[in-house]
Amino acid sequence: MNAQTEMKPYVIGLDLGGTNSVFGIVDSRGDIKATTAIKTQGYDTVEEYVDASVAALLPIIEEVGGIEKIKAMGIGAPNANYYTGTIEFAPNLSWGHDGIVPLADMFKERLGVPVAMTNDANAAAIGEMTYGVARGMKNFIVLTLGTGVGSGIVINGQLVYGCDGFAGELGHVIMRRENGRVCGCERTGCLEAYCSATGVARTAREFLATTDEPSILRDMDPDAITSLDVSIAAGKGDKLALRVYEFTGEMLGEACADFAAFSSPEAFIFFGGLTKAGDLIMEPIKRSYDEHVLKIFRNKAKFLISGLDGSSAAVLGASAIGWEI
């Protein structure tokens, strides 16, 4: 650590989610020194949201020794553009759905420290490189398997933002070009429509509707089935639920085989709710990858689960963006 880091040993991370905004003050090893949180919604304007954020932040900033100990702030947020520091037309934010919100500049003005912002999957990738399983790696891809499928791509040690700041939308490569499922992006056949948490629940419903296979999931209202229910059933050895994970992992492996043809990463790192299934999902991913990938890439890439502490992973990821400024 250089003198600058010794003088300013912390960054602020903000995980700006649809419901909660969680703040953490983090040191260079990824230890969270202080946290606070506010509700994300319920403000009429972004100014009110920033006011509430700063009011919550000031006490924990004092706790670690004042603003002169803070090097920067990093924000992980939906629809965030790294290049401009803006949130653009975020459908789920009461104060951000109908325009371009210069959130990074607003925090910079109020706190007097540099602020960088990107989407949560990119934040996760920088988080893995800074504190997690990608330390020392120059080429890897993080896939976030949550409500949707997101991605953060690192090439030559740099996050890939593309010409417009929106690169790395691997949840929206097309995996089924015929009779594909409708995706939230209004197209059909996207990876996300199959391999997100909601995709897993959809697959379970499809398997239940199209087979007579016995399953404890048949005791539930099909529309109420979630990926958690599938995971619990699979944990009990339910064959249909296990097949759902096979199907999901196989498609993820096929997708990763295509991603290898693009950037030949050292590792694929999986992050988010679905990874709690562990080997149930990771084994079919690896098997399918080796089966489908171009021969020159076979047995090269590692398949890893995120090394960031689950409950604070998003805050750590966001804070890591701060070190990059």
Q: Interface with a copy of itself by CB under 8 A: which residues?
A: 138-139, 153, 155-156, 158, 160-170, 172-178, 185-187, 254, 257-259, 261-266, 292, 294-297, 300-301
Closest CB to a copy of itself among residues 29, 295: 295
Q: Which residues contact 206 (CB under 8 A, 6 or more apart)?
A: none
Q: Which is nearer to a copy of itself, 108 or 176 (CB)?
A: 176
Q: How far is the CB of 298 from a copy of itself (least distance, A)?
A: 11
Torsion angle of alpha carbons 51, 56, 58, 59, nearest 10°? Answer: 160
Minimal distance, residue 112 CB to a copy of itself, in Å:
30
Number of other residues whose CB lies within 10 A of the CB of residue 146: 18
Edge-to-edge strand ranges of the sheet holding 140-145: 158-159, 149-155, 140-145, 267-271, 302-305
Shortest distance in whole angstroms from residue 31 CB to a copy of itself: 30
Q: Which is nearer to a copy of itself, 115 or 154 (CB)?
A: 154
CA distance 254 to 265: 15
In whole angstroms, give the CA distance from residue 124 to residue 219: 37
163 sits in the region (left: phi over 0; alpha: psi -120 to 50; else beta) called alpha
* Residue 80: strand pairing partners: 87
Cβ proximity to a copy of itself, 229 vs 258, nearer residue = 258
Q: Nearest distance from residue 122's CB to a copy of itself, in Å?
A: 12
Closest CA to 16 of 76, 86, 94: 76
Q: CB of residue 120 vs a copy of itself: minimum separation in angstroms?
A: 16
Name the minimum Å distance from CB 73 to a copy of itself: 24
- Minimal distance, residue 116 CB to a copy of itself, in Å: 16
Q: Which is nearer to a copy of itself, 254 or 324 (CB)?
A: 254
CA distances (Å), origin 308, targets 28, 31, 86, 227 = 14, 11, 26, 22
- Residues 230 and 203: their CA atoms lie apart, in Å, by 10
Q: 297 or 303: whose CB is closer to a copy of itself?
A: 297
Cα–Cα distances (Å) from 253 to 15, 182, 293, 297, 303, in that order, read 29, 21, 9, 13, 10
Report how far apart, in Å, the C-alpha atoms of 273 and of each of 106, 258, 276 are. Answer: 32, 23, 6
Residue number with CB closer to a copy of itself (58 or 173) = 173
